[in-house]
Structure 1
């Protein structure tokens, strides 16, 4: 079995990935400062489930020496540690830069001599706000006027166009990771994620919006939508995302130096209003919606064409979004001990 390093391993995707790999018998080192409120519960969950197979290292990716020490014995590094909110990047671009770009460079330099494989968590924000795509309003959702684009989504041939400090820091890190495969022959793979959701997601207004909407609705609290709420996203269950990360490692020889879009695709695309409508049916009451101005860099439409990832990584069909959201609602109800009845996916 292998020794796995997951930076940001106590976060939402990181802890689900750590759970999968530890369950398969690998030794998993979770490198996490535990700075984000609530991630201590994820770490505790991992340690209770897997005992000594999971080890926690309190270290910051901004510290090159700490990263080098953590990666020294690793057989693979999953680099998920990040500053994750556009709003935070606008308020504090220096910290965003130091964590997202500086941290990624520290990881790459730590593995360069040994050429340890690195799988990097990137974002659809590398494509900018997609303002050049002509959109039409269809069933209360923004959709591309081009039927072919509406059918398949945005693929990796889309030019990069970084918006906001967050887009710049993650996008630059994305390119560094790819270039280390070219310049230094470090095996690397980049996954440009759409909206990932599922158990252990600590959703807030700034990040993790699917869980955030569910939490607010379950607690009978208002939801604020930025923009008109007709924005469309493809959402992907975290189990399907973990499948992709694991496959990128096991198939690294074939996919090194490549970037893949990773999302639910057109079949799992939903507008913010459409998701809230489904949530209303699950909880049996109508959400109090409030509206604020559009946020900087917000995409009215992003749906990933993930067909390249499915082919190269051998991925199966993603979980249908209604099923996954219903399961997350029930998980949140139990986790937060809420006295609310949650309906079924067919509701």
Structure 2
């Protein structure tokens, strides 16, 4: 069986490719390298430097004829989505529809889509289930949610199976140190430079942090499970930003106090996704403990910083 992975040179996509190859799948990677890195692509995968919005995508499908698609390519910067909503929509909405057209034309059996907790908007309770209302607070949230509807309607129309995975806050190795980069990576980098990390608000806001290896495993599991399902990929546990800084200080044997800045308008106070449905449907559960995941990420940032300074 052959799987085409979009964004397979990126943070999450490259981990998905690694796990697929470890499980003996044939893998084709499509990535325009705007944020991905060619050296992240597993040497056993076939690579196409291609944009998902381009006509070239059709040629890749015609050449490779994949059995399944795992769609990770996206514009992921929330702030950029508000500054340049048209570009955000072009990549995330138009790009996904383009991919769907190719998948349907070439009789792809299964389509797996990387969605986001951003589709939910402001949580109405402590744990967000998949049935929670979808009222995004950002253009990014809109552009991740809209393709879900295209996938559902077109798959029902043409008989293609799909699984939609809504990710919590993903962190880990290969995440970029520049740009938004995730709060965990940003904090580690600053603390290693002896710079106090900035917390917006009182630090009591909570997030559900899941390691990239567990997210990749959920994608691989979705190739065989989760017919026409929407599933949260999360740890089902929340951690406050204050506790995150405390934990990083402890793990790195430091004592750096954060600086507190005014809360950002529109920031969600508490976010924790219920993962019970994914556990049941995908026969999957997170394997990477927070301690192990943070330790691996600290080592990754240290090595990246030492290379940058050498």
TM-score for both structures, normalised by structure 2: 0.91
> Cα–Cα, structure 1 residues 220 and 70, in superposed 2: closer, same or farther, change >3 Å?
farther
5+ long unaligned stretches in structure 2: none
In structure 2, what is the equivalent of residue 4 of structure 1?
Answer: 3
Q: Distance in 2 between matches of 1:97 and 1:249?
A: 27
In structure 2, what is the equivalent of residue 16 of structure 1?
Answer: 15
In structure 2, what is the equivalent of residue 82 of structure 1?
Answer: 74
> Cα–Cα, structure 1 residues 313 and 235, in superposed 2: closer, same or farther, change >3 Å?
same
Write the mapping of 1:210-229 to structure 2, written as runs, cut at 5 A: 210-229=184-203
Query: Which of 281, 300, 303 is residue 331 of structure 1 equivalent to?
Result: 300
Does 2:38 match 1:46? no
Does 2:230 match 1:272? no
Does 2:109 match 1:116? yes
| Cα-to-partner distance string for 1:70-102 (whole Å, 9 max, x where unaligned) | 233111111111000110001100100000001
Write the mapping of 1:130-149 to structure 2, written as runs, cut at 5 A: 130=123, 133=124
Does 2:60 match 1:70? yes
Write the mapping of 1:220-259 to structure 2, written as runs, cut at 5 A: 220-251=194-225, 255-259=226-230
RMSD value over aligned CA atoms?
1.9
> Cα–Cα, structure 1 residues 129 and 293, in superposed 2: closer, same or farther, change >3 Å?
farther
Q: Distance in 2 between matches of 1:8 and 1:245?
A: 13
Tell me whether 165-174 or 90-99 shows the greater mean CA deviation. 165-174
| Cα-to-partner distance string for 1:167-220 (whole Å, 9 max, x where unaligned) | 111111122222222222221110000011122121445242222221222222
Query: Which of 83, 97, 112 is residue 91 of structure 1 equivalent to?
Result: 83
In structure 1, what is the equivalent of residue 28 of structure 2?
Answer: 29
> Cα–Cα, structure 1 residues 326 and 180, in superposed 2: closer, same or farther, change >3 Å?
same
How many corresponding residue pairs?
A: 304
5+ long unaligned stretches in structure 1: 134-148, 339-347
Q: Distance in 1 between matches of 2:264 and 2:68?
A: 36
Q: Distance in 2 between matches of 1:74 and 1:7?
A: 12
Does 2:240 match 1:261? no
User: Where has structure 1 moved over 6 Å in runs of 4 or more?
Assistant: none
TM-score for both structures, normalised by structure 1: 0.82
Write the mapping of 1:281-296 to structure 2, written as runs, cut at 5 A: 281-296=250-265
Q: Once the 2 structures are TM-superposed, how far is the Cα of residue 259 of structure 1 from its aligned partner?
A: 0.5
Q: Once the 2 structures are TM-superposed, how far is the Cα of residue 31 of structure 1 from its aligned partner?
A: 1.1
